Structure 1
Amino acid sequence: MAVSGRKGADFQSSISKGSAEDFDHRCEPCLAIGQQIESHGFCVDCQEHLCKSCFAYHQRLKANKHHHLVNKDNMDKHAVSKESDECTEKCQVHKKEVIKFFCPKHEALGCNDCIVLNHRACDIDYIPEKCAGIGDSAEFRELLRELDQKINGADNIIKQASNREKELDYCCDKLLKEITMFRKEINDRLDQLQKQIQIDADKKKSTDKQTVNKVLEQCTNISSDIKQLQSRLQDYKTSQQNGQLYITMKQAKSKLKSEEIKEADRSLEMTNMQYTFEQNQDLENILSRQDAFGKLKETTLSLKPWDIAVMPQDKIAVTMSDKKEILIMTTAGKLSTVRKFPVAGDCRGIAYHRGHLYTVCINPKCVFITDTQGKVQNTILLDNKRFDHPSYLLLSKDLRHICINNWYGHSVFSITLQGDISAEYKNKNFDCPLGMMMLDHGSLLVCCVGGIHRISAD
């Protein structure tokens, strides 16, 4: 078992001491070798707390001969406030122990006992030595950004769930009205059958609403938990409690890896049913049958078409992200499908130019350039680290650049046909950019939650 930044013998000495005693201050030279000893005095020049032995020995060294030492009663007057690398959070398993270590291999925080029992063969990070300056690190900033994205994802599901709850009410109300209208055309014998089908409808509605409400509660709690983590992160950074900041960051990273939002989305998808009442046209001849009145019919709804591109000769191209396919439809007369072809990804935004379709996808994140028959002519790969959720694209007038929105990343990118990023627009108020339009002079209009942003051509 190896501890980053410390010698093996020092680490063994540290873990052999068990829990730290309840001291106001500890001897810092002894603490560096893993010994928990109460402070007896303080060196003003070194700004270090010293135990009785270290205090007596300190001025014996030639370099320290003129250092100013004060006793324990006066040391707080001379101590300069500095960042705290001390860990105070207790271990969840060993209640009396303090969390002081992190195992990168297993991504686990732990106390002395945890490390000895479960991570002997691992390279261990000693938190007080790893957390210095962590509040100003790129890792900390990236974590805050990812937490914001997680909240946006939860909020998006909450909005979908709220809309779905209204749709459930609407569908059921429509269903009951159809039942009532149809019921007027038949005799009293159908009262019992009407009651049964209404019970079935209410039961289905109740079940789906319970699922929706559970998703609402779950995502609200997720959002609340993440906001609490954010608050703690900011508080620990402000108070320079780097040990706690390190621990909370690791806890926040664990939260980011949670599949709770995806599970909530899957649960909500299970309620994606359309309720309709199917009338029986032969009812007058079959009133004696048990199912004569009709039955409750469930229809699984496919996702709505994502985007449309206008083509020549009264044609349009429509992306169907749920089915990973593109429909070529005619607008002459009744709207109908002429042909369709598959896409090797979750297809989103689409554009047409001179016989070619440009389709942006997620999973994988790329732009497929195809002919109108679906044959791939070129694939432009997008930077996975920069693009979180590309949803729509727009071709520049000269076809030298492609504008792509980055929904969760609150930004719009301009890329070349080789996939290189040539420009990026990002703003803290640029919330979930969606549809885009390019004006004649080259500036870009972007529709966002809460308003429309205008981006200059340069």
Structure 2
Amino acid sequence: MAVPGKKMPKTFSSSSTMGSDEDIKVYCQPCDCDGPRLPAHGYCVDCREHLCDTCLAAHKRHTLSRHHTLLDKNSMPQTMSSASVHPSQPDNLTKPCPKHMKEMIKFYCQNHEALLCSVCVILEHTVTSCEVNYIPYISDQILNSTEHQVILKAMDTITEQCRKKSEDVKKITALSNSSLTDVLADIKTFRTEINQRLDELERQAEDAAKTIQQENNKNLKAVETTCEGVTKSLKTLSDTIKHLNTTQKADKLFMELKLAEQIIKGYKKRVHHLAAYDVKEYSFKPNKAISTLLEKERSLGTFTKKSLKQPSPSPAVDVKSRQTSHQGEICVQTSKDKGRCCIPRMTLLTPDLLIIIDWRNYAVKMVDTCSQSVTAQLQLDTEPCDVTSVTSIELAVTLPQKQNIQFISISSNKLKKKQTLKVDGKCYGISCCQGKLFVSFVEPAKLQILGTYGTILTTVRLGSIFSRPVYVTSKTDSIYVSDWEMKTVTKFNWQCEVTGSYGGVTWPLGITLSDDGTVFICDNQRNVIEEIAGDCTTGKVVLKDLNDPYGICWCAETSKLYVSCYTKQDKHDNFLQVFKLS
């Protein structure tokens, strides 16, 4: 019989045997390494080893193997295969543990996304509290996987951000220095109109301007140095990852990818801090009173300044005019579907990878936007209503009928169920930002902010604001909620205080944020997509004459808008419409 913990494979095959004498009787492989040869009374599917009674009992008790799949004497393979004697994935892990330098990293904790040695597992990540895997057993699928592609893409994105930031700072620094050159010219012009008694004040003003120039150049150098350092580091790391992937060194590639995730987080913060640097534009304002009150004045004039800082993605007040073009459609119906599709929500992991939920077919689907095809599908046992990315390899899906949030992992282009989170109501919309989940509930009508482990941080129940809050989207300082009965899009800050509301829609459903801080909303009754200013003061129709638009997703890299429809007609509901906005 199979021990609970994993599913037992249907068959076992041996690609080669060890010889007629060895095939007749199977023996305990651990004992054969350093003890007498004993007959086997069981078999571990995970370790691919035959075990005697003593080793079988120890295997069931040990922390790292108690959940392995074990077969009894009647069910185990009756021959010794070369694959059993010589595992296909050798343990050649040589990276030392940062906490226990004499121990090698050989395990990975799924719960904490941490690389571990055996001491870490025993002391901090026991199987009773964590899902711990031996790296050689799980690393085969990392080669050419989605996670591998996502991490490389994240590196490329940060590198590109550094390049753009460096260019931006060069431009505004040049403009600032140009303005200071004009200041110096104005100082000279003004100085010629007064007598030699102003020589000292002139030198003071010139020194002040030159000091600012030096500070500008110093700060520019600091930005360039940071961007060059990040770019060089990521290039080296990217080359290492590509080489490991090409040479199919899965174990080392797995560890490098996990370490890369932590490095990426740090570099994201560093690149984000670069945006906080503010360069000023200066002009010179002469002191007109100096000609008559020269003896009483202590300065030649004052500097006025105007910020040249590049605007961060903050709420836009005005909605700009956009040019739109239809780019085609993507069929999202598959052979696994039992009927017509209904796509209420979707989220982008990369410009090439779109995750959608199919409410009518109880499914989560992975869509390749380049090949325009569904590449993976995960069946659920109830209707999903919304999806958001928690990390680059993890999703969260709302299941209102079960009052659950289902977490789903993405690995090797496959979708797999993970843990579920029980909530106190019919959860509908969901969005994740900076480790927090923003969840809207239709029964009872409310908005909650949760930690990713389910801790309720804030709850908003405002009857005058919410009636049927369906979908939610978020960014670093704002939360937007669409309510189809109140016919509003409401903006909150992270303290859940209302900071804006837009009432120019008739039946708001799907909602998504653009890269410049505006909000796209599906107005199902008017058959339009409306773009709303980030402060919810104004709105403008950007797409019209649609067929009952339902779900929506924006891709900033390609300036494309993905729109689903729900008309109860196959010719519309089974396709995503793709629009280019500029």
For Structure 1 versus Structure 2, the TM-score category normalised by the shorter chain is 0.5 to 0.7
Instruction: Give the superposition deviation at 1:284.
Output: 0.8
User: Does the CA contact (< 8 Å) of 1:85 and 1:132 recur in 2?
Assistant: no
The residue identity in structure 2 corresponding to 1:144 is: L
Q: 1:383 to 1:268 in 2, by over 3 A?
A: closer
1:46-195 equivalences in 2 (<5 Å): 63-64=78-79, 86-120=92-126, 122-123=129-130, 124-195=132-203
Counterpart of 2:140 in 1: which secondary structure? coil
Q: 1:64 to 1:415 in 2, by over 3 A?
A: closer
Counterpart for residue 406 of structure 1: 555
Counterpart of 1:223 in 2: which secondary structure? helix
Distance 1:395 1:376 in 2: 17
- Taking only the aligned residue pairs, the percentage that are identical comes to 20
Normalising by structure 1, what TM-score?
0.56
Counterpart for residue 252 of structure 1: 260
Counterpart of 2:504 in 1: which secondary structure? strand
Q: 1:388 to 1:380 in 2, by over 3 A?
A: farther
Find the partner of 2:282 among 257, 275, 278.
Answer: 275
Distance 1:265 1:291 in 2: 41
Distance 1:375 1:246 in 2: 47
Alignment of 1:415 onto 2:423: no
Q: 1:88 to 1:157 in 2, by over 3 A?
A: same
Instruction: Give the superposition deviation at 1:197.
Output: 1.8
Find the partner of 1:395 among 519, 532, 542.
Answer: 542
Instruction: State the Cα deviation string for residues 305-360 of structure 1 (Å, max 9, x = none).
Output: xxxxxxxxxxxxxxx9656423xxxxxxxxxxxxxxxxxxxxx644599xxxxxx9
The residue identity in structure 2 corresponding to 1:423 is: Q
Counterpart of 1:99 in 2: which secondary structure? coil
| Matched positions, count | 321
Counterpart of 1:288 in 2: which secondary structure? helix
Instruction: Give the superposition deviation at 1:249.
Output: 1.0
Q: 1:263 to 1:252 in 2, by over 3 A?
A: closer
Q: Select the structure that is richer in strand.
A: 2
Instruction: Give the superposition deviation at 1:119.
Output: 3.5
Distance 2:205 2:509 in 1: 53
Instruction: Give the superposition deviation at 1:243.
Output: 0.8
1:229-378 equivalences in 2 (<5 Å): 229-258=237-266, 260-301=267-308, 322=314, 324-326=316-318, 349-350=320-321, 375-378=502-505
Instruction: Give the superposition deviation at 1:202.
Output: 2.0
Q: Select the structure that is richer in helix.
A: 1
Q: 1:150 to 1:122 in 2, by over 3 A?
A: farther
Instruction: Give the superposition deviation at 1:111.
Output: 2.1
Instruction: State the Cα deviation string for residues 241-282 of structure 1 (Å, max 9, x = none).
Output: 111111011111112322x44544444543331111111222
Counterpart of 2:296 in 1: which secondary structure? coil
Distance 1:176 1:369 in 2: 51
Instruction: Give the superposition deviation at 1:365.
Output: 8.1
Instruction: Give the superposition deviation at 1:62.
Output: 10
Gap regions ≥5 residues in structure 2:
7-27, 35-46, 50-75, 325-472, 483-487, 491-500, 521-530, 532-540, 567-572
**Farther off after superposition, 177-186 or 150-159:** 150-159
CA RMSD of aligned residues (A): 4.7
Q: Which of 1 and 2 has higher RCO (CA within 8 Å, sep 6+)? A: 2
Instruction: Give the superposition deviation at 1:68.
Output: 8.6
Distance 2:94 2:285 in 1: 65
Instruction: Give the superposition deviation at 1:192.
Output: 0.8
**Farther off after superposition, 208-217 or 182-191:** 208-217
Instruction: Give the superposition deviation at 1:99.
Output: 1.3
Normalising by structure 2, what TM-score?
0.46
Q: 1:105 to 1:116 in 2, by over 3 A?
A: same
The residue identity in structure 2 corresponding to 1:126 is: Y
Instruction: State the Cα deviation string for residues 367-392 of structure 1 (Å, max 9, x = none).
Output: 9999xxx95313564457xx777889
Distance 2:113 2:516 in 1: 27
